[in-house]
Structure 1
Amino acid sequence: MMRDTRLRGLSAEHQDALLFGRRLLEVSTAPEQELNPAWEVLRRRFFAEVQPHFLTEEQELLPALESLGEEALVARVWEDHEALRALVTDEAEPLRIRLEKLGLRLIAHVRFEEAQVFELAQRRLPPEVLERIARRTPPPPTRTVG
């Protein structure tokens, strides 16, 4: 199903998150001396890009889905968000392992949201909720070929 235009901003952010997840996986295999400097850049990027995306979902999308009785779906998204945040902030595991886990979990999370959460949202959410989401995450400008 084609993505509802009001969810395209979040979907565009998901495309960026997939690339970010792949970058995390690449860095997880880098030489030891490159891990910490790369991690500092990636950690800042997580808080600048991924965290605001999570907040939009948590403040707009998830409450609306929960009101429709989609508790299990909402619980899965919350669990993923919390696990991803923990991988960024909890330093109990070695950095290389956290980078790999973060990359794999982020990619899986994005795929889950695109395939299940957004498909359901665009079918069942009221227009006013979709409009609020669209205002918070405008779609990227269309690119022309030329």
Structure 2
Amino acid sequence: MKTEEKVGELLKAKNFSLSTAESCTGGGIAALITSVPGSSEYFKGGIVAYSNEVKADLLHVSVETLAQYGAVSRETVVEMVKGAMKTLKTDCAVATSGIAGPGGGTPEKPVGTVWIAAACKNEIVTMKQEGDRGRAENVQSAIQNALFMLCSMLK
């Protein structure tokens, strides 16, 4: 069984709803979730927040957090995941923000750095994905890691 199918089963079993807040994954998590027949029973929607403006306006990420820690940070994805649950009125959410590449990296945050958050109710877990495997693979890894994190939380 694919991870997105397992996530759906677990969400349905708990009668939980899901939303996504994606930056570098560009809606890829939402696309996988909605590829599962019957996903409308638990998936409410997703926000692709590629710019800081959208992160602040739609996901309620504070301007101070973005200025102090940057878009690619644990602090930002925590606020993104909370914002997704608030805006879309869901029990659970996942969020991603990272540097897919090939450009955009810095010594502190090299290409391939992605912060991921998963949340259900009041529990939030985060992970930092590191290592540049090329843009497409960086994005695919982040999508899979987000789904694995959510699946683990729901078990």
- The alignment's TM-score, normalised by the length of structure 1, stands at 0.30
Q: Which one has a bigger Cα radius of gyration?
A: 1
Which has the larger helix fraction?
A: 1
- The alignment's TM-score, normalised by the length of structure 2, stands at 0.28
